[in-house]
Amino acid sequence: MTATAPEALDCAYWRSGRCRSCTLIEIPYSRQLAEKDLAARVALGAIPDDAWLPPQASAPDHFRNKAKLVIGGRAGAVTVGILDGDRRGVDLRDCSLHEPGLRDAIHTVADLVDELRLIPYDIPARTGELKYALLTFSPDARLMLRLVLRSRHHLDRIRAALPRIRAALPTVEVVSVNIHPEHKAVLEGDEEVVLTESTTLPMRVNDVTLHLGVRSFFQTNTQVASALYRDARHWVEPLDIRSVVDLYCGVGGFAHHLSAPGRSVTGVEISAEAVAAARLTDTTPPPTFVTGDATAYLRESPAPDLVVVNPPRRGIASLAMDLEGSDVAHALYSSCNAASLAKDLDAMPSFRPVRARLFDMFPQTNHSEILVLLTRT
């Protein structure tokens, strides 16, 4: 895909100094993409040049399907966005990174918070209730809304307002309240109260409709995530793959895209909620999903033809050595951290990289996703 915007993105929030999140915003997008691709190739010097495919570009703006909004200000006049250096709210409701439908929903949610007189949490004073509004938006304009509270003080008010929320956000599928009583820099607490009958958000990706639970991980950029899964499917097609194990499978994005007649696919995930959501997706033949530890599963089960790993930023650590010592013939590694990916590839010298591509999930930043197909030599 060729980038469609050669010029740098113009943002009023950046120009005014209110937000500095988009660290590459002054660099034309085509140059951003080229420099990120070069940096990945240098960091992953073990991958030969002929294995690399051209980078997968993104739309430079209006690509985010998620909004993680700090609630600041005061009751009746809230800010939705980030915090400044004094831990006070900065309103970014018109951020141009969000998909247009999501941006509209952010405005509506801010208005609802004001109407309901929910009290923003004041970090310096450690008073107030509403900490965050977390929104996820699907290609079919379906919406998930999570409100993170310090306590259950506003819970009944929000529950009673559910008809008003549904009227204002007619495509909302899931509304929940997360209780996060601790004063620390994490987004959510352990307790989640789902207020709607629906507990998952349908997320259409290519010809697969995934289901996202309230805590489910999904890539921030649906367009580029779709390309990632398509490439995974296309790279695997010419191989003689009869069995696949998708470790760290989440809601089953790779597992469902790799499902095919004559092929058994098993997804392994530590989160029981994610496994339950993965089982809701309808593909033929259906993959099997198991709740469990990825490393333990690989050690205790027969070696499949292909292992898929999509780990956290820290990489796969000892699992790389387990793969190296196994009878697995192929591995598909999706990484958001080139440094940990390089370390893991060094621990698997029997595997040869045969395909690699950078996927620009996060324009205007240095972050990206890298997909590598490995074949045992």
pLDDT tens digits, 244-261 = 999 999 999 999 999 999
pLDDT for the residue numbered 2: 41
Q: pTM score, two decimals?
A: 0.94
pLDDT for the residue numbered 309: 97
Low-confidence spans in the chain with pLDDT less than 70 = 1-6
Show Cβ contacts of residue 113 under 8 Å, excluding neighbours closer than 6 positions: 71, 78, 80, 130, 133
H-only helix segments in the chain? 12-15, 29-43, 100-115, 155-160, 162-168, 222-236, 253-258, 272-278, 294-300, 318-324, 338-346
CATH code, 66-198? 2.40.50.1070
Contact between 151 and 121 under an 8 Å Cβ cutoff? The reply is no
pLDDT for the residue numbered 114: 97
CATH code, 12-60+206-376? 3.40.50.150
**Which of the 8 DSSP states describes residue 169?**
S
pLDDT in tens, 163-200: 999 999 999 999 999 999 998 888 999 999 999 999 99
Candidates 11, 19, 95, 336; catalytic one: 336
pLDDT for the residue numbered 7: 78
Q: Where in the chain is the domain with CATH 2.40.50.1070?
A: 66-198
| Angstrom distance (rounded) from CA 155 to CA 147 | 10
Q: Where in the chain is the domain with CATH 3.40.50.150?
A: 12-60+206-376
pLDDT for the residue numbered 317: 87
pLDDT for the residue numbered 94: 97
Active site residue 336: yes
pLDDT for the residue numbered 3: 42
Concatenated DSSP letters of 187-220: S--SEEEE-SS--SEEEEETTEEEEE-TT----S
Give the closest residue to 374 by CA, choosing from 295, 312, 307. Answer: 307
